[in-house]
A = this chain, B = another copy of it.
């Protein structure tokens, strides 16, 4: 059966997250339904990262097997047509061979977290950012974030419901940058634990507010205890940006720290 690699954008607002669920509208469910309308086949999609309710994607990657061989643009246009009023669109389709697996072949995931940091909320970015009223010191947040770079035990930032076998992960990049009233946190890793990005962001915010010192942050991280971490940042600021595979991997951004880290994506 021909396999297709799908790059997908969605507005996660109002969806129960990526994963198919009974009686709840999910991204996976909406896509599988659109594929059914197109091919009359019951298919299963496999995603690089199973995002939570309210989390967005600019470049989620999934794969699907279909009976027939189509041109990539046919799959994209037909499925987008059947997605209709869903806030989900397939951006790109590629023919891949059967060894490609969106989840297990992925060697890197990139996430972006957006904070709006000013007194007034934003009508144009409603459901698109975490609105934090009080001024945050971005330089301190960035400095704290650098403690997390490398291969570590991330238990402090791991959701209790995380199904990963190990809390060990390698964070290759975690940059905190201000653009005017907006703060962007860019995270890059082979894979993340469940809620890891949102828990890291929620804890970095405490440093930005001045409630925590850099030392408080470091000791919470080293405690390897979720109860020592800060709040989980809300989902609407989080974007799954891209998943990378050996073939299309951007060599300029190859992780400097390589580890045997085969845990699946649980974010």
Count of chain copies: 2
Do B77 and A124 have beta carbons less than 8 Å apart?
A: no
Kindly supply a per-residue 1/0 record for chain A positions 106-125, scoring 1 wherever the CB is within 8 Å of any chain B CB and 0 otherwise: 00000000000011111110
> Which stretch of A85-93, A139-147, A223-231, A253-261 is in the interface?
A85-93
CB distance from A168 to the nearest CB of B (A): 33
Determine the interface band of chain A, counting residues with CB < 8 A from chain B: 20 to 34
Contact B10 A123 (CB under 8 A): yes
A120 in contact with B76 (CB, 8 Å)? yes
Cα A9 to Cα B89 with chains together (Å): 28
Contact with B along A66-106 (1 / 0, CB 8 A): 00000001001100100000111111100000000000000
Partner of A89, one of B86, B91, B121: B121
Q: For chain A residues 17-55, which have a beta carbon within 8 Å of chain B?
A: none
> What are 25 sample pairs from A and B whose C-beta atoms fall under 8 A apart?
A9-B120, A9-B123, A9-B124, A10-B123, A10-B124, A11-B123, A11-B124, A11-B126, A56-B124, A58-B124, A76-B120, A77-B119, A80-B120, A80-B121, A86-B123, A87-B123, A87-B124, A87-B126, A88-B123, A89-B120, A89-B122, A90-B120, A91-B118, A91-B120, A92-B120
